[in-house]
C-alpha cells in the first residue's frame, strides 16, 4: 500500500481548520463502512453460506426464533465487542475450507457465538416479551436467572448427547434454554423435566420435590387402584412409565433392590404363613425356583400373575 507523501498530506490538510473538519468526517466514514460490514456478516444470509451452518438454518426455521437474524442472538450488540468477536472467530474459516467441521456445530469457546444473557434480555424483558408456562407448572424465573452454573451441561443436540459445554457465567439463560432455536425435536425447544432433573434437581444441586415446580400433579387413575402394587409390573408393559419416572435411571431399582419391611430378622421363620396366605405376593420378586434352595417343592409353582388389559384407545 502506497504511503501518503508529505506534500499529499499538506494538500489534504492545508491548515488546522481543514484538519478539524476532515479528520472526524474520515473517521466517521470508516466507522459507517465497518458498521455495515459487521452488520452484514451477522445476517442469516451471510452465516449460512458456510456448509456447517446449514443444519442451524434448517432447525431455526422450525422454532419461534425463525424471523430473527443469526447475529441477533449470537453476536454482541455493541460495536467494539462485535468487532472483537469477528476477529476471534477468523480461525474457524480453516475447518470450513478443509471440510473438517462438526455437525451439529456446538460452540465451545466463550466468544465463539455463545449466547450471553444480554442478548436474551435485549428482547426478553418484562416490558417487551414475557415468558409463559403451560399446564400446572410454576417457576421462580428470577431466582433461576441468578444461578451461576459451574458444571458441564448434559444436552442433547440432533439426537447426540454431549457433556462438553462448559459455562463461564453470564450465560444463565441458555443453560436451561440451550435448544431453544436449534432442536430437531419440537419438544426440546423448552426444557423437559428429564433435563431439569438430571442437571440440577437431583437432590444434590437442587431439591427434587415435585411441589417446587408443579402446583398440582395428580396420580394417574391406575395408581389409585387398591391392587396397584400387585399389578404395576404388568401395567409397565402397556403404559409409558417414563413420562413421569424417566428422569431417574433405573427407577424401578429404588424399590426392587430393597428388602421389603416385612423381611425383618424373624422373616425366615414367619414367611411360611405369609406364603400360605397369599403366595402371589412372593411371585412379585421371586421365581418359583427360588424356593428350591431350601424346600424340595415350590409353593409358587403354577401361580400366575393377574392379566392386565391394555388401556382403551382414545
Residue 76 pLDDT:
85
66 and 81, same domain (yes or no): yes
- Summarised one tens digit per residue, pLDDT across range 235-268 is 887 888 877 776 666 778 777 777 777 788 888 8
Q: Is residue 300 part of a domain?
A: no
- Summarised one tens digit per residue, pLDDT across range 147-183 is 776 667 666 665 566 656 666 666 778 778 877 887 7
183 and 197, same domain (yes or no): yes
68 and 177, same domain (yes or no): yes
Residue 1 pLDDT:
52
Residue 134 pLDDT:
65
Q: Is residue 163 part of a domain?
A: yes
On the question of a cis peptide bond just before residue 104, with omega within 30 degrees of 0, the verdict is yes
Q: How far is CA 238 from CA 225, 234, 310, in A?
A: 16, 7, 6
Q: Report strand pairing: 160-165 vs 153-157.
A: antiparallel
Q: Is residue 219 part of a domain?
A: no
Residues spanned by the domain of 28: 6-39
47 and 190, same domain (yes or no): yes
Q: Where are the alpha helices (DSSP H) in the chain?
A: 6-12, 16-40, 44-47, 54-60, 70-74, 79-88, 93-98, 117-121, 141-145, 172-176, 193-199, 228-235, 242-245, 253-256, 267-277
Q: Is residue 309 part of a domain?
A: no
Q: Is residue 228 part of a domain?
A: no
82 and 129, same domain (yes or no): yes
- Summarised one tens digit per residue, pLDDT across range 38-50 is 888 888 888 888 7
Spacing of C-alpha 245 from chain mean position:
18
Query: pLDDT below 50 — which residues of the chain?
Result: 305-309, 311, 314
56 and 168, same domain (yes or no): yes
Cα separation, 73 vs 66, whole angstroms: 12
Are 274 and 262 in contact by the 8 Å Cβ rule? The answer is yes
Of the residues 184, 212, 240, the one at which a domain ends: 212
Residue 306 pLDDT:
47
159 and 28, same domain (yes or no): no
Provide the number of structural domains found in the chain: 2
Residue 106 pLDDT:
63
Averaged pLDDT score across all residues of the chain: 76
12 and 116, same domain (yes or no): no
28 and 70, same domain (yes or no): no
Does the predicted model carry a pTM greater than 0.85?
A: no
Residue 167 pLDDT:
67
130 and 202, same domain (yes or no): yes
64 and 171, same domain (yes or no): yes
Residue 314 pLDDT:
45
- Give the whole-number percent of the chain exceeding pLDDT 70: 74
Amino acid at each position: 500500500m502506497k504511503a501518503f507523501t508529505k506534500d499529499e498530506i499538506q494538500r489534504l490538510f492545508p491548515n488546522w481548520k481543514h484538519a478539524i473538519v476532515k479528520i472526524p468526517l474520515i473517521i466517521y466514514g470508516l466507522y459507517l463502512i465497518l458498521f455495515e460490514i459487521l452488520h452484514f456478516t451477522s445476517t442469516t444470509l451471510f452465516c449460512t453460506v458456510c456448509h456447517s451452518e446449514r443444519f442451524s438454518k434448517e432447525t431455526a426455521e422450525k422454532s419461534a426464533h425463525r424471523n430473527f437474524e443469526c447475529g441477533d442472538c449470537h453476536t454482541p450488540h455493541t460495536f467494539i465487542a462485535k468487532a472483537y468477536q469477528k476477529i476471534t472467530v477468523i480461525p474457524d474459516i480453516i475447518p470450513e475450507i478443509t471440510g473438517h467441521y462438526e455437525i451439529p456445530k456446538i460452540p465451545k469457546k466463550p466468544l465463539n457465538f455463545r449466547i450471553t444473557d444480554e442478548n436474551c434480555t435485549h428482547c426478553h424483558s418484562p416490558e417487551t416479551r414475557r415468558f409463559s408456562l403451560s399446564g400446572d407448572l410454576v417457576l421462580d424465573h428470577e431466582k433461576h436467572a441468578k444461578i451461576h452454573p459451574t458444571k458441564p451441561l448434559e444436552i442433547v443436540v440432533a439426537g447426540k448427547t454431549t457433556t462438553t459445554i462448559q459455562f463461564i457465567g453470564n450465560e444463565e439463560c441458555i443453560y436451561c434454554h440451550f435448544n431453544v432455536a436449534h432442536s430437531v425435536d419440537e419438544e426440546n425447544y423448552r426444557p423437559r423435566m428429564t433435563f431439569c432433573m438430571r442437571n440440577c434437581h437431583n437432590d444434590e444441586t437442587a431439591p427434587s420435590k415435585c411441589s417446587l415446580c408443579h402446583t398440582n400433579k395428580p396420580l394417574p387413575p391406575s395408581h389409585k387402584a387398591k391392587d396397584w402394587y400387585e399389578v404395576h409390573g404388568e401395567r409397565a408393559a402397556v403404559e409409558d412409565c417414563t413420562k413421569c419416572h424417566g428422569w431417574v435411571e433405573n427407577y424401578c431399582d429404588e424399590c426392587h433392590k430393597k428388602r421389603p419391611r416385612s423381611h425383618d430378622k424373624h422373616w425366615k421363620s414367619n414367611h411360611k404363613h405369609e406364603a400360605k396366605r397369599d403366595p402371589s405376593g412372593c411371585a412379585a420378586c421371586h421365581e418359583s425356583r427360588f424356593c428350591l434352595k431350601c424346600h424340595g417343592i415350590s409353593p409358587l409353582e403354577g401361580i400366575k400373575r393377574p392379566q392386565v388389559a391394555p388401556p382403551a384407545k382414545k
